[in-house]
């Protein structure tokens, strides 16, 4: 289950980065919506595992 949380955190991180860099505002908004969806998935997985989402960070792979 922890692997699922990491996948969602990484996806949320990457979608947010794409939204921040996208010049087309309509596309940026879609990326930001995807970020919010993936973040909510991570929050749901974390809650089921009694983990604090605030303490979970994107992996080195997502950051590179």
pTM higher than 0.85: yes
Rounded mean pLDDT, 33-52: 94
* Reduced DSSP (H G I as helix, E B as strand, rest coil) percent helix, strand, coil of the chain, to 5: 80, 0, 20
In this prediction, residues 32-43 reach a mean pLDDT of 97
Please report the pLDDT score of residue 27 as a whole number.
Answer: 98
Q: Which of 10-14, 44-48, 49-53, 56-60 has the highest mean pLDDT?
A: 10-14
CA distance 43 to 1: 12
């Amino acid at each position: 289950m922890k692997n699922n949380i990491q996948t969602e955190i990484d996806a949320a991180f990457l979608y947010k980065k794409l939204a921040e860099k996208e010049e087309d505002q309509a596309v940026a908004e879609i990326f930001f919506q995807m970020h919010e969806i993936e973040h909510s998935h991570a929050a749901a997985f974390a809650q089921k595992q009694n983990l604090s989402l605030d303490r979970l960070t994107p992996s080195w792979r997502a950051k590179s």
